[in-house]
Amino acid sequence: MLDHVGFQCRDLAASAAFYDAVLAPLGGSRLMDFKVAIGYGTDHPDFWIGELNEGEGFVEAHIAFTAVDRAAVDAFHRAAVAAGAEVLHEPRLHPEYHEHYYGVFVRDPDGNNVEAVCHRPE
């Protein structure tokens, strides 16, 4: 089970604007803001972004956000494109994962692979 996950960001303001936009269609919002770290979620902050403050170089992270339906995946995609994200995989079925796996993959402002996925048949 996942309690929370966090990314360090080169430009916290740019990343916050991106996640404010793309998490809204999934029901997520900014729940805590400490100016150096921002927590997002639906009822508690389980996704965090913060200022880059340790480590060198870049290692791509991947996170998949649950969408309640395929329309939410499509709305996430539109929000990501509007926020300037690079689209890695357009919204579509991914039968290589399972028959109902409908997802979209984009890059956030820091180059992380961010996905919205619906596992429901419609």
- What is the average pLDDT across 75-94? 97
Could you give the domains of the chain?
5-51+61-118 (3.10.180.10)
Q: What is the structure's pLDDT at 52?
A: 86
C-alpha closest to that of 116 among 108, 107, 105: 105
Q: What is the structure's pLDDT at 99?
A: 95
Q: What is the structure's pLDDT at 108?
A: 95
How confident is the model over 32-83, as pLDDT tens digits? 999 999 999 999 999 999 998 777 777 788 899 999 999 999 999 999 999 9
Q: Are 97 and 105 in contact (CB under 8 A)?
A: no
Looking at 9-23, 24-38, 53-67, 85-99, which range is the least confident one? Answer: 53-67
Confidence check: pLDDT of 105 > 90: yes
Q: What is the structure's pLDDT at 92?
A: 98
Could you give the dihedral angle defined by the CA atoms of residues 88, 29, 16 and 102, in that order, rounded to the nearest 10 degrees? 0
